[in-house]
Structure formats: structure tokens, C-alpha cells
Structure 1
Amino acid sequence: MAPTGDPLARRYRRLLRCYPRAYRQERGDEMLSLLLDTAPPGQTRPRLREAVDLIRNGMRCRLGRPASSTVVAWAALAAVVCGLFSAALSARIAWETAELLPGRAETGEVFRTVLPDREPDGVTTPSTFFGYYTQPMTMQALDNLLLGDGGEYQQTATDAWAAGPPAAPPEETVAVAQRRLRESGWHLDKVTADTSDSCADKLCASVVPVTHTTVDASRGDTLLTVTVNSNPEPESPYLSITLRRTTPPLVLPAAIGGGLLGGLAGWLVFGWASRRTEASHPARAVVKVLFGVTLLLWWLPVLVSVPALASHHRGEPHPQWHPLWEWLGQPTFSLFFLVGSVSALLGIALATLPRPDADRLSTLASG
């Protein structure tokens, strides 16, 4: 066998770490000797095909159950969903690197750009990027969030508005806002108009058409939405602005990195539990049921939310995509995720129960 200092041997040993420890202890030296004996003279690195085969076979070996035709598919489902949730968590953490939401001074400046010579009648400045009913999440609100009201956990924004009788016709107000925004360096994205009927009196004996014209613009890391109401109520805003932050640059690499690590962890944990329970394990049947429950509760919200959000994005203009966790049905279906997590932890705990010595030896021999 090549000495430990041989660079090719060291690199082969790194690749052999894809196999379970027990498998390496029993067959690792034999596999390494075979790989080195078949390597051409002067080779210092494993060939690409060799590396891919060792990684693929090693990760398959971690699942145990060599006669099973479905274990790889189940492991893939577990790894993918773990990767998605890990990516969503990493993205949410990376959102904390964004600039703070615009304060009153910056909001007032933008408002005067949109509506010259007019101070806003009101300004709201949230203290967090994502809030529950625009407020920071608290333990007191946790029960409502888990019990079907999780959709109210959304990206927050700084708002300002002007109430009272409009100073000019809505068409003129929109035109002036567009011109002044361009002059101030804003990039105009979309202008949309949505017309609906509104009651003309308290009894709703007659209706009047009301048009809400929306102007989306962006500048740097700030998104601006201007909304003009063609027929406002006496004390309701006829013009409002909303300021949000764009997705921070760190969110995408954080989500990719977190997703890959989460997917790998999901595969390894599933493989460990699979090997632990492949012989006559006392909780084998229960662990399999708990695993099925976990996958059902984690995947079901994803399968419901992805088509719904895709349709939502096609039907309405969006300056930026909804965050990843909403595509996974979170926190709207957070109760599903919580119960699934409890099921997964219980299954892992049961998989640690001791097995008979004969079964343990058999498992080690099969990898």
C-alpha cells in the first residue's frame, strides 16, 4: 500500500469518507489498495469518473438496505425538503444585512418629490423587515401564527399618505409624480390601473367606479410604490407611498449555501436512521411510519403553495419575488412544519434504541 504521505492516497481517503464509518473500517484499506494498484504511474489526483463513482456509491451505501428499490427516492425527498427549509432559514437570516427601512426624514423627502409642496398627513416606520401585522413577532402572537394566521407575517414597509380633497385630478397627479421621480433619479418600472365599483352612499343604493393607479419605481436598494385613488372617501388617502428594501445581495448565496448543507444533512441523517433500523430493530415499523408522516407534513404545504404563488405572481405585478419561505407554505402552514419536526425528532430518538448484538454485527458487515 502507498505510504500515508502519498497525495493520491490522501485524496482517495477523502473520497472514501462518503462511505459509512463501519464500512470504511471493514473494507476501506482493501478499496484504497485496489484504487492505488489500478492507478496509472504518475497519477496524483483521482480521475473525475472515479471521484463521481466513489461519491455516488458512498452516499448510496450510507442508506443501507441494499435490496431496496425505493430507499434512494425516499432519501432524495428527505434531502430536498431539508435543503429547501434550510435555504429559507438562511435567506431570512441574510435579510438582516439589508439597510434599515427609510425613516421619517427620507420618507418625507420622497413624498414631497411625488407630491410637491405637501407634507404627509401620516407616516409609519416599522422596526423590522418582516412583521406580523407589520409589528415585530412576539411569543403572544405565536399561537395565532400557528393556527392559520401565518399569512400575515409579511415584508414590512414605510408608508406615508395624503388625505382630504385631492389637489388635482388623478391623471395630473400621476403624470406629475412620474415626471418628478424621473428627474430625481428613480427608475419607473410599471404603471397599472385597477378599476372597481364602490358604494356611493351608506345604503349602497348606487355605485361609482373607483380607479387605483399604481406607479412602481426603484432607486438603489429602495422600492417605491405610489398609489393614487380617483375617488377617495372624505377622510381616506387619495395618494399614498410605500417604501421597501430590495432583497440584499447576500440572500442568494446564503440560500444556496444553506440549502446545500441542509440537503446533505438530511441525506446523512436519513441514511443513519435507515441503517439503524434495517435489521430487526425494535422500533423499525414505528420509525417508518413517523418518517412518512414527516414527509407528508413537510411536502404538502410546498405542493399547495408553489402553484398558488406562481398564479399570484402571474396575475399581479411584483417589483420583487415573494421570499422563499412563502413558496414553502411558511409560516402560513407552520403548524404542519412543527408537527412534522416533532415526528422527525421522535423517529430519530427511536432509531437510537439498541439492537440485538447479532443484528448489529450484520448491519456493520453490510455497510
Structure 2
Amino acid sequence: MSGALERRYRRLLRAYPPAYRRTRGEVLVGVLMDAAPPGRTRPTLREAANLVRHGLRARLGRPASRTVAVWATLTAAICGLFTAAVATRLAWETGRPMPDRAETAAILAEVAPEHRFTDVQIAPALFTWYSQRVRLRHLDKILLFDGGEYEQGSGTASAAGTPPMPGGAAVAAAEAHLRDAGWRVHQRTTEAYDSCTDMTTITMTTVEARRGDTLLRVTVTDPRVEPDLPYLTVALQRTTPPAVLPAGVAGVLLGAALGWLVFGWASRRTEGRVAPTLCLAAALLLWWSPAALAVPSMLGHHLDQPHAVWHPLWEWLGQPTLSVFFVAGTCAALLGLALAATRSGAGAATTRKVG
């Protein structure tokens, strides 16, 4: 039984760096074995947690720090989420392009044959900025001050003129046509507000449906605010491609591992130095703040309005709407890494002596 306990203690000691285990491993095992009561075959949870916690501190170059593991975890988590956001955006490109005019016309004919659509707009890409395809020249505006206009592309078609039927009948007919055509119809939503001109109550009813990789929203306004405005609008989008989920999981794991390793490298080289620590703190504050603001807002939005498809991961991180914080945080992190790479000669000599 003592042999099994010793083997389990040695497994837990793998949380420590190899050099630490070589110089102090036998002493630690001996102390732990002497303190264990007769008949014990497994370390207690408290012992396991303490060994792992102190081992991680040693690996991060701050064995006496009480918070270094927390800093490392926060860094690894946000790096994993950012990497996953990039990976999921790339995975979106595995989906089909947006519906073209022929596909749009076929969908309109089967879901709203009673209406005459006079304005049909085809989305140029899966994601657009101000309804146009994103170009490299737009990147600075998206990353700095105007990222809120980067959104999933949506093709639209609207019907104006005299409605062939009342609004309620148009909604019911649209739902019937959708079901007959094989669409999965989700719960309808209704918003009502008072007109600013004649104080009449205007109702906007939206029906959301999904078929395959296509998402459709039919919005009926009754009565119209103005005679020239459309009374019915159809919007078409693509649903999340199957490759997005595995890409996101892989991105989280890869980004978190790289974030942890880079943090550990910088931490071991900057113990006792204030400037790199301040850079790291600024980077984490700037990176996590948009997510802390976006997550409650997005969660409330999804709970208030049922969604057939959830918003993409980067919007839950406040990106690119608040990407100026991401850019500033990245600059702070790069400065901290630069300071770590140019550690002082005294710090380098001290590290060599300790090693």
C-alpha cells in the first residue's frame, strides 16, 4: 500500500518543473510519506490540490506567488477564446455562399406567392461591413472605431404597394406556405409601438424558419407607417456550418495551451519586475472588459428573442464592435513580451544561478 501511495505522490509531483523534481523531489516524497497515516493508499484532495497549485507556481517561475496561477489561467482562457473566434470565422467559409437571385426568387415564389416583390437585394458575402464585401482597406476602420457594422450578411426582398390581404392573414399564409415547402417554422415574435404621426398602433410580426443551411425571416408590418414603405420583408441568411463547432473547440484548446506557455515563458523571465506585470494587467483588463460587457447583453438578447441560430462567438467577446480594446490590449501584451525578451543582465544572472 505504501508503494501505491508513493507512486501517486510522484505522479502529482509532475506538476513541478523537471529541475525542481531532481533537486527536491525525493525530499518532498519522503516528507509526504512520513506524514501519511498507516494504510493510506491515495493522497487526500487537499494534498493533491496543494501539490498541483505549488507545482504550477514553480513552473510559472513564481513559486512564492499566490496569484500567478490565476493570472496564467485568465491569460490562457482569453487566448483560447480569441483563437476559437478566429478559427470559427475561418470555418464559416466552408458553408455555401449566400443565395443568389435565382435561389432567392425560387424561395420567394414558394413562401409568399401572393405578394409582388419590387426590391430584391442579394448579400455579397457571408459577412459584410455596411452591407458590402469586406476588403483589406476596411480593416483599420473595423478594428478601431466602426466594427459594429461588421455583421452576418443578409439578402432581403420587400413588397410595397397595396397589400393583398390584412397583416394577420399574411402572417398565417406565410407560415402555411413555409410548412408546406418543408421549412421548420420557429416561434413568431410580435412588437407593437405607437406611430408618431397619428398615434395608431403599428404591429411588426416576424416569423423565423429554417430549411437545410438557409435561415428565413418574414416580417409583416400592419398597418404601414407610410404608403411608400414596404408592408412585408423577407430576409435570407445562411446557418452555422457544421465545421464551426469542431474548429471552435480546437481553437480553444490550441489557443489556451499557447497562451499558458507564452505566459509561463514571460513570467519566468520577469519575476520582480514591475513594468511587464503592469503590461500584462493592462492587456487582460482590455481583453476581458468587452467580453464582460457583451456576454450579459447577448444572453439577454437571446432570451428575449428566440433564435434559430445563435450569434457567432466573436460577438459574445464584444468583437469587433469593441475591437479597439482588443487592439490596445494586444499592444500592451506585445510590449510586455518585448520587455520579457530583453530582461536585464542582473535578472538573467540571477535566473541562471537559481537554475
Instruction: Kindly provide the amino acid, as one letter, of the partner of residue 238 in structure 2.
Output: R
Q: Contact 1:108–1:119 (CA<8 Å) still a contact in 2?
A: no
Q: What is aligned with 2:41?
A: none
In 1: Cα distance, 2:211 partner to 2:354 partner: 61
Distance 2:270 2:141 in 1: 38
Look up the match of 1:159.
156
Q: What SS does structure 2 have at the residue aligned with 1:228?
A: strand
Specify the SS of the correspondent of 2:188. Answer: strand
Secondary structure at 2:158 match in 1? strand
Match of 1:309 among 285, 294, 298: 298
**Structure 2 residue aligned with 1:209:** 201
Partner of 2:33: none
- Counterpart among 250, 257, 264 of residue 257 in structure 2: 264
Q: Secondary structure at the match of 1:194?
A: strand
2:211 pairs with one of 219, 222, 226: 219
Q: Which letter does structure 2 place at the counterpart of 1:103?
A: D
Residue 215 (structure 1) shift: 0.9
Within-5 A mapping of 1:204-353: 204=197, 206-232=198-224, 233-278=226-271, 284-353=273-342
CA distance in 2, matches of 1:313, 1:354: 47
The one-letter code sitting in structure 1 at the alignment partner of 2:276 is: V
Q: Sequence identity, in percent?
A: 48
Residue 125 of structure 1 corresponds to 122
Deviation at 1:274, TM superposition (A): 0.8
For 1:240 and 1:345, the matched residues in 2 are separated by 47
User: 1: distance between equivalents of 2:50 and 2:105?
Assistant: 62
Task: State the Cα distance separating 1:214 from its structure 2 match.
Answer: 0.9
Structure 1: 5+ residue stretches without partners? 1-11, 36-48
- Equivalent-residue separation in structure 1 for 2:21 and 2:143 (angstroms): 49
Letter in 1 for 2:119: G
- Secondary structure class of the residue paired with 1:207: coil
- The separation in 2 between residues aligned to 1:208 and 1:296, in whole angstroms, is 48
Alpha-carbon distance in 2 for matches of 1:147, 1:107: 35
Structure 1 residue 161: deviation in Å? 1.5
CA distance in 1, matches of 2:114, 2:201: 29
Q: Which runs of 5+ in 2 are unaligned?
A: 1-9, 30-44
Aligned partner of 2:172 among 165, 171, 175: 175
Query: Could you say which residue in structure 2 is the equivalent of 1:108?
Result: 105
Give aligned pairs, total.
329
Distance of aligned partners of 1:107 and 1:208 in 2 relative to their CA distance in 1, 3 Å threshold? same
Tell me the residue number matched to 1:363: 351
What's the offset of the Cα at 1:139?
A: 4.2
1:260 Cα deviation after fit: 1.0
Preserved contact between residue 56 and residue 69 of structure 2 (Cα < 8 Å) = no
Question: For the Cα contact (< 8 Å) 1:64–1:366, is it kept in 2?
Answer: no
The CA deviation at 1:90 is 0.9
Q: Distance in 2 between matches of 1:344 and 1:285?
A: 14
Deviations 1:125-145 (A, max 9, x none): 122211112212234444443
AA partner of residue 216 (structure 1): E
- Check 1:140–1:249 CA distance in 2 against 1; reply closer, same or farther (3 A cut): same
**Root mean square deviation, CA, Å:** 3.0
SS of equivalent residue, structure 1 residue 244: strand
Q: Which amino acid aligns with 2:305?
A: E
Secondary structure of the 2:314 match is: helix
Tell me the amino acid that sits aligned with residue 268 of structure 2.
R
Deviates more, 1:249-258 or 1:58-67: 58-67
- The worse-fitting range, judged by mean Cα deviation, of 111-120 and 101-110 is 111-120
1:5 aligned residue: none
Show CA shifts across 1:174-221 (max 9, x none).
Answer: 12111111111111111122111123xxxx3x2221111111111111
Quote the Cα distance in structure 2 between the aligned partners of 1:29 and 1:221.
59
